[in-house]
Amino acid sequence: MDLSTEATTCKDNLQVAFVMNRTSTHTAIGRDVFTALAHDPFPVLPAAITHRVAFAESAVLGQSVLQGEPSGAAAHESIAVTRAAVAMMPHAEKNRTRDRHTTIG
């Protein structure tokens, strides 16, 4: 965390957040980690990656979970984390507007 703090003092526009990875769903320890990190200067993304076999299986096949099982829970978690990370970026709204116009036009 010291490295993140140091980096944000050097780069004003650097966005830092915790991403919960390999968490166990519906457990006290998972909830406790979110609670403990809530007091840190950096936000915790509301989406998390849980411990799922699909991540290991897709790695063995040289794929992402989006390729191996695109409608599965692991893919949904990956998409949710990506969306949460993009949403916290200061340029996110501007890019979404630009992308909409690019797609439509």
> 9-64: per-residue pLDDT in tens?
666 677 788 888 888 877 787 778 878 887 888 888 889 899 899 999 999 999 99
What distance in Å separates the CA atoms of residue 46 and residue 36, rounded to the nearest whole number?
14
**CB neighbours of 40 closer than 8 A, spacing ≥ 6?**
1, 18
* Contacts made by residues 25-31, CB under 8 angstroms, sequence distance 24+: 25/50
Number of domains in the chain: 1
CATH number at residue 97: 3.40.50.300
User: Are 46 and 84 contacting, i.e. CB atoms less than 8 angstroms apart?
Assistant: yes
Tell me the residue range of the domain where 39 lies.
2-104
**Do 51 and 24 meet the contact criterion of CB atoms below 8 Å apart?**
yes
pLDDT exceeds cutoff 60 at 100: no
Query: 23: which 2 tokens?
Result: 């968490």
Report the pLDDT value the prediction gives residue 54, as an integer from 0 to 100.
94
Higher pLDDT, 69 or 15: 69
